[in-house]
Amino acid sequence: MRYVMKQKLFSWGDDFHIKNEAGENVFFVDGKVFSVRKHLSFQDLQGNELAFIRQKLLSWGPTYEIHRNGQLCAVVKKELFTLFKCRFMVDVPGPDDIEATGDFLDHEYTFRVGDRPIAQVSKKWFSLTDTYGVDIAENEDAVLLLASTVVIDMVCHEDKQR
């Protein structure tokens, strides 16, 4: 399933609208403005919270937690010491951790479980800034992968934050 993620141009927090491939709004990410660390609420169109993203303080490097139904479901962390490439790890319960590698400055990267690609993020599909596509393989957790994409955007493009 292909999604289009667009950051709101004029907003107080990190707000994103997410549409499906038919152009229909399906999710909204509401960035909380007045907090010491970044908090975001990943919601359906009725305002139901599907995931909660929170910056983890006192960690070595940029680290965010993704919670669902009050439970920690993933930790997204930028790997600090990599040669010639940028890498993020999405630590999920169990053995199937997710790795994201690619050109994060240009929004061109792939999520993988082992050698198997499960999602592709690309800005090249679009000409507008802060708008890009996320193509997620069938039967993968779209909310987790889209929430992880939001985290990667925030970490890699902090200079654009308002």
Angle among Cα 108, 56, 28 to the nearest 5 degrees reads 55
Least confident of 109-113, 115-119, 138-142, 151-155: 151-155
Find, among 32, 60, 40, the residue nearest to 153 by Cα: 40
Greater confidence (162 vs 105) lies with 105
Q: Which residues does residue 122 pair with via DSSP β-bridges, in sequence order?
A: 108, 133
Domain of 110, in residue numbers:
2-160
Hey, what are 81's tokens?
């010491």
Count of domains observed in the chain? 1
Does the pLDDT of residue 106 top 90, yes or no?
no
Place of tokens 């950051």: 7
pLDDT for position 143: 97
Per-residue pLDDT tens over the stretch 7-17:
765 544 568 89
Per-residue pLDDT tens over the stretch 77-90:
998 776 666 789 99
Give the CATH number of the domain where residue 19 resides. Answer: 2.40.160.200
pLDDT for position 161: 47
Q: Give percent above pLDDT 90 in the chain.
A: 56
